[in-house]
Each structure stands twice: as C-alpha cells, then as structure tokens.
Structure 1
C-alpha cells in the first residue's frame, strides 16, 4: 500500500516537473509574442485598411467584369441577328441574279436571231446595191473627170504689182535681211486674189506650178537688189554693186512648185535700197 502511494507521488512529481517545463516554454512563447506585438502591433490598423481597400477594388473589378460580360453578350446577340439578316439578303440576291441571268440569256438569243436575219437582209441589199453601183460607176468616173477638168479650167491665178519710193512704203536701206519685206502697194492685176497688197505676200490657193519674176531699179548711192523667198527661205536674188553710173537695174525669174497655203514674197538685201520695183507671178498649171 505504501509502495503504491509512493509510486503515485513519484508520478505526480514527474508530471509536476513536466508541467513546470511546459509552463516555462509557454512563458517563453508569450514573451516572444509580446516582443513581436511590440514590433508589428502599430502596423495592424494600416494593414487592415489596405486589406479593406484591396477588397473594395476587387469588388469593383468584379462588377465591371460582370457589366462587360453583359455588354459582350448583347453585342454577340446583335451580331448573330445581323449575320442572319445578311444571309437572307445574300440568298435573295443569288435568286435574283439567277433570274436575271435567265432573262439576259433569252434576250441575247432573241437579239442574235434578229441580227442574223438583219445581216442576211443587208447582204441581199448589198448585192443589189453593188450591181447598181457597178452599172453607174462608169457614169460617175466620167462625171469626176469632167469636174477635175472644169476645176483646172477655172483655176486662174495671175498678179502684177509695183512699188515706188515714197514716205508711205519701205524701200530701204535694209537693216535686217530677214524682215525687209517689200510691199508692192500699187496693183496692176490680181486675178484669183492670191496676192495681198497690205502685206506684200503671195499665198498659193491651189497646188501647182507657178512662174514669178521681179525687177529692181536703184541709184548708185546704195546697192540695188532683192531676194525672192518661199516660206521664208531664199530662192533667187538680184544684186548690183554701186558703180560710176547713175542708176542700176536688175531682174530675175523663177518657176516654183507650190502646195496650197505656201507663200512667196520679196525682201531687200541688208544695206540695199531701191527706187522702184515690179513683182509679178501667175499659175502655169495646177497639179494633183
């Protein structure tokens, strides 16, 4: 009995020692907790505020995400409806295109048939016309020949004009060999009106062969002479140096082939001067 009591006392003592160890350990833990609280205890309220703010932001983002999902769903539904409508329109257009294709093909076939009939009729008419044209061709050729001969007979061109030194016209001395145009202002003859007494220029009205002649008369104080030009290009000229005699006379003649619209006129040599001059020309015969 005593031994059992002693054993119980030893067990109780052992447990008491273990509890003392546990209590010491708890004291150390509490001390550590007190120290940790001293270190972070002042930041607990700030951390709680941050947690609250983060929670609010998360809720706001969640609400926005829900709104975005709703908008996306509505847009998707609208797109689906629009796509369905487009499919219906495309089907209608395809049907209309097929109907038009059938109508156009029928119209083309009818037009082709009509054109073939018209072509046959034109070919028949053309054959009859060719026969009639062959019958009349000889008469037309004769008529054209008569017309050409009549035109040749009526082609009459001839002129003759003179210039005398005066204050009204230029007779020199020339200072520029390209612009010293002599204007023969006194006209004797101008059949066909090819010569212009205002400009001194002869303009061919018909294509043909023409005869031109010119004469110059000057005193010994200046060189006497002139140049006949065609379309501003030199052709033939006269030239007489000053000498011991009191006057000088020069002349020249040329035959030119002109096209309709080409021009002929007389200009002075540079430094030249005349007292009087005659310029004449006429159509020898027209050419085709």
Structure 2
C-alpha cells in the first residue's frame, strides 16, 4: 500500500508540475517541500492511508528533484528546439539564397559556355586566317626570294653597267679631250676657202696664146687666199687642198679646154669638141698637197674660149681640207 501511495503521489506531482509548466504557473524552483507534503497529505486523506514511513519523504524529494531536472531539460530541449527551428529557418533562407546563387551561377555558366563557344569559333576563324596568312607569307617569301635574285642580277648588271659607264666616261673624256684638241687645232688653223665666178661679159677668147683666167666675181674668199688681179690662189699653210672648176663655151664646131696649174706645172686639163649641138661644158676636181706659198690657177689655152654671164656658167672653187 505504501508503494502504491508513493507512486500515486509521484504521478500527481508530475502531473501538477507539467500542468504548471505548460500554463506558465510555478516553476520547478517554486515548489517547496511543504506544498509537496500538503499534496501527499491530501493523498493520504483520500486514500485513507496512515502511518507512512519517514523515508518516503526522501524518495519524494528525490522524485521532485528528478521532476524538476526533467522539467528543466524539457525547457532546455524546447529552447534548443526553437533555436534549431531558427537555425533551420536561417539555413532554409541561406539555402534559398544559395539556390538563387546556383541559378545565377548556372545562368552565368550558360553565358560563359556561349562565350566559350564564341571564343572557340573565333579561335577556329583565327586559325583559318592564320593558315591563309601563312600561305600568303609563303607566297610573299617566294616573291621576296625571287626579287632578291632579280635584285642580285640587277646589281650585277648595274655593276657591269657602271663599269661600262666608267669605260664610256673615260672614252667620253678622251673624246672630249680630242674634240677640244680638234677645236683648238681648228681654231688655230687658218680659214681657207674661196668660190668665184669668171665674168658677166659673155665670151672670153679665143686668144693666140695661153692666158691665166682671172675670176672677177668673188662670192667667198676666206683668208684672202685668191687674188682677182693675178688670178692665183696662194696656199697660206702646208696642207691638203681641194679644187674644182666648171667651164662653158657657146661656140660650135670648136675645141673647148681649161687647164689647172700647180705653180708652173699643169696637173689637170679638160678639153672637148663642140659639134654644134649646144653649149659645150667642162667640169673637174682634185686634191693637191701644197706647201706654204704654192700657187694654183686656171689657164685658157690658145685658140679656145669660155663663156660666162650672170648665171655663172664658168666658176672656180677651193678650200683647205687640213693642215699637214
């Protein structure tokens, strides 16, 4: 009976303690030994039990302490539970944020994958362009090598041309020197040339003796080498001279003749018979080597005649070719 009463009292204490804790009443620290004793006494009266052993109080105290301890642990558990719920809420919040971040990262990853794909396409395009550039570079190198070879050949040709140019320049300089020498010689040599007409009077001759023809019409007489008074050309320097003459005769059935003399020597003669077919004409030329002071002149033989008028049918010409 005593154990049953103790067990009943313990149950009442637990029930009351739990009720008070849930309703916000007394805490475990507010329960006193007197209240427990009063409840136990009440149990004693209701159960009509008497003579309870004194050691039950110790057991009740122990049970009370255990109840208080369990109550405190329960409150601590509730606090931990609330704290865990708060932490769980925070974790859910963080999880939601993490999911948002994950979604954002997924979007960024998708964008990055697109960028990577674009970069791959650009890399492929650059590779193609690089291959094209390499091909063009190879072509350029071939062209450059060809140009180098052509340049080398051109340089060789330029060098050869420069050598030829130097030779030509040397020859030109020599030629210029020769030209200058010739100019000097030409400048130093006398100016000798003459061109003459015989007369405007018509027929000259025939005579009973040879006569020297005196050309009175002077067209040119450089160096004053011909004398119309004597009819002689006098060489001013030793050299080679060119002489020519033309003569006309309008008589018929006669001999026409003109002779050219060097000093007292006849060196050229022309004659021809006119058979009455028109004017008879004579012409001839030669080159003579003359010493300074030598004379050259034309002679009309006896019995012959020449004709001249304003048309200069009969003329005498000469000039210095070069000094000797």
Larger radius of gyration: 2
Instruction: Confirm or deny a common fold (TM above 0.5).
Output: no
After TM superposition, the score normalised by the length of structure 2 is 0.40
